[in-house]
């Protein structure tokens, strides 16, 4: 394992927000504000918000992306961000955050939250999973898209592969390979 003081890889932070019923508009205003302030920081790549999956769930997930850890860290420690966190009580009683670097979010099922496999294991699994998708996804798309320009075919293929990797393939592969990826859980 390599320990470094910083990383030049893109970094993604996921924060889960438990929003009190009836406070959804306050949360949306809060997200608009913190997102707008984030845009002013060096290395900011974007923010997304995922709404609760169903009516029984009150968890929103905000996703902040920065081009490297140093830029993320500057934002995390900023007075602007802290000012927004101080307003979190307007819509929630319990803030919680998880951090993921580079591709780690694809390899972190809930039972292994906070633990990421080694980079060589992530690289190997990603290669083994993407390689067949790159070869086999374009074939049926060619039938569907017909004589579309190459750029349309490539963009569609990449989009389908990313969706498959994120929502279908990697969750299953990660569960299947969890003992090898994460090792045995430690007691205590």
| Same-domain pairing of 132 and 170 | yes
Radius of gyration of the chain (CA): 19
Are 96 and 48 in the same domain? yes
What are residue 99's DSSP bridge partners? 13
136 and 80, same structural domain?
no
Of 97, 117, 96, 119, whose CA–CA distance to 107 is shortest? 117
Domain count within the chain:
2
103, 122, 141 - which closes a domain: 103
| Among candidate residues 70, 103, 136, the one where a domain is terminated | 103
Same domain assignment for residues 74 and 134: no
Give the end of a domain, one of 46, 70, 103: 103
Is residue 107 within a helix (H) or strand (E), and if so which, with residue range?
A: none
Whether residue 4 lies inside any domain: the answer is no
Distance from the first to the final alpha carbon of the chain: 23
CA gap 151, 52 in Å, rounded = 34
Q: What is the pLDDT of residue 107?
A: 58
Domain range for 152: 112-182
Average pLDDT, consecutive stretches of 10 residues, N- to C-terminus, the chain (188 residues): 56 82 90 93 88 73 84 90 88 63 53 61 85 87 84 86 82 82 60
**Within a domain: residue 187?**
no
CB 65 within 8 A of CB 57: no
Residues 58 and 90 in one domain: yes
Residue 6 maps to a domain: no
Q: Are residues 56 and 120 located together in one domain of the fold? A: no
- The answer to whether residue 49 is domain-embedded is yes
pLDDT at position 79, please? 94
What is the per-residue pLDDT for 31? 92
Report the pLDDT value the prediction gives residue 80, as an integer from 0 to 100.
94
CA distances from residue 157 to 26, 129, 130, 134, 171 in whole angstroms, order as listed: 38, 15, 12, 8, 20
153 and 84 inside one domain: no
Q: Who's near 83: CB < 8 A, 6+ residues apart? A: none
Please give the Cα distance from 43 to 63 (Å, whole number): 15
17 located within any domain: yes
Is there a single domain that holds both residue 85 and residue 166? no
Asked if residue 94 and residue 21 are part of one domain, the reply reads yes
Shared domain check, 129 and 94: no
> Tell me, what CATH number does 46's domain have?
3.30.70.100
Residue 41 within a domain: yes
pLDDT value at residue 149: 85
Inside any domain, residue 176: yes
């Amino acid at each position: 394992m390599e320990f470094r003081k910083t990383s030049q890889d893109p970094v993604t932070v996921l924060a889960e927000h438990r929003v009190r019923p009836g406070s959804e508009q306050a949360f949306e205003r809060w997200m608009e504000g913190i997102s707008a302030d984030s845009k002013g920081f060096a290395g900011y790549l974007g923010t997304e918000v995922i709404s609760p999956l169903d009516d029984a769930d009150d968890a929103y997930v905000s996703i902040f992306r920065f081009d490297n850890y140093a830029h993320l860290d500057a934002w995390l420690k900023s007075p602007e961000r802290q000012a927004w966190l101080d307003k979190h009580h307007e819509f929630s009683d319990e803030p919680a955050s998880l951090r993921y670097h580079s591709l780690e979010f694809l390899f972190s099922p809930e039972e292994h939250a906070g633990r990421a496999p080694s980079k060589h294991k992530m690289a190997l699994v990603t290669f083994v999973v993407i390689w067949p998708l790159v070869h086999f996804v374009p074939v049926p798309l060619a039938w569907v898209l017909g004589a579309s320009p190459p750029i349309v075919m490539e963009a569609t293929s990449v989009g389908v592969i990313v969706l498959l990797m994120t929502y279908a393939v990697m969750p299953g592969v990660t569960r299947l390979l969890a003992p090898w990826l994460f090792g045995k859980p430690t007691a205590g």
